[in-house]
Amino acid sequence: MPRTLPEPSVDSFDLTVILSALADPGRRALMTALFRSSEPVDCAVIVEEADLGLSNPTISHHYRILREAGLIRSVADGRKRIVRVRREDMETRFPGLLQAVLGGH
Amino acid sequence: MPRTLPEPSVDSFDLTVILSALADPGRRALMTALFRSSEPVDCAVIVEEADLGLSNPTISHHYRILREAGLIRSVADGRKRIVRVRREDMETRFPGLLQAVLGGH
DNA sequence: CCAATCATTCGATCGTTGTCGAATTATCAT
DNA sequence: ATGATAATTCGACAACGATCGAATGATTGG
């Protein structure tokens, strides 16, 4: 049942797109929350943790940006979305980047 | 004689500002060229190396963004500007970030 | 089937940003 | 002084991006 939403292959990762995605504070808050748990998580839980004051359309938009940048994988399971950080893929292409951006505090 | 242009203190570094600065391909090209030489360099030389197809006002603008983000130090010496990466300061606040962004290619 | 739920898409707004040409400033060399 | 050189500032413009409310889509539970 669950289908993985469209995402870029590791080879087509684009540093400009990735850094633009990470440059937004809201998206970085989502990523930081996601980065803490290495397990796939219900995206709504992450939204609660991050506690941004943003509307649903905006949150959805941010998740899309993160996904299309290759930072996260998003799996549609029923009405829910299960998300996780693409750690290994990121590590392959840009080693140390996620740690440097999200690791500190 | 030479005067250092205004720049943020290490304490006031802002990751959003830094990532936004690094998200632009042109600025990243400048940074990559700068990152290679650890010595202060005439900024015009870097511009040649980077070989962007941009006007002088735009280059100047990009240098300003990098400086105001805390990524580079810019010293006015006569008509020239001597620039260098603020490696240690960046390493203090965001260890591994510059390496992750500029190191690979 | 119907209603509730979770997420996305659409359309609009509005601030931000990259870019340039022209004008300006500052400095150096003659 | 005068003119040449390096860089910045200014004013403009187009493109982009973050945001929202409303509408739509998809799925689950009764």
**Protein residues in reach of strand D (CB < 7 A):** A 1, 20, 23-24, 26, 53-58, 61-62, 65, 76-79; B 5, 42-44, 56-57, 59-61, 63-64, 74, 79-81
pLDDT at B105 over 60: no
Residues A91, A15 contacting (CB under 8 angstroms): no
Judge whether A24 is closer than 8 Å to chain B, CB to CB. yes
Tokens of A28: 């970085």
What are the extents of the domains in chain B? 3-103
Of the candidates B71, B75, B102, the one whose C-alpha atom is nearest the C-alpha of residue B87 is: B71
Q: What is the pLDDT of residue A92?
A: 98
- In the beta sheet, which residues pair with residue A75? A4, A82
CA distance A105 to A5: 30
Region B93-100: mean pLDDT is 98
Q: What is the CATH number of domain B3-103?
A: 1.10.10.10
pLDDT at A2 over 90: no
pLDDT at A105 over 70: no
- Percentage of chain A beyond pLDDT 90 is 94
The pLDDT tens digits for A38-89 are 899 999 999 999 999 999 999 999 999 999 999 999 999 999 999 999 999 9
Neighbouring C-beta atoms of residue A24, cutoff 10 Å: 18
Of the candidates A47, A39, A101, A98, the one whose C-alpha atom is nearest the C-alpha of residue A70 is: A98
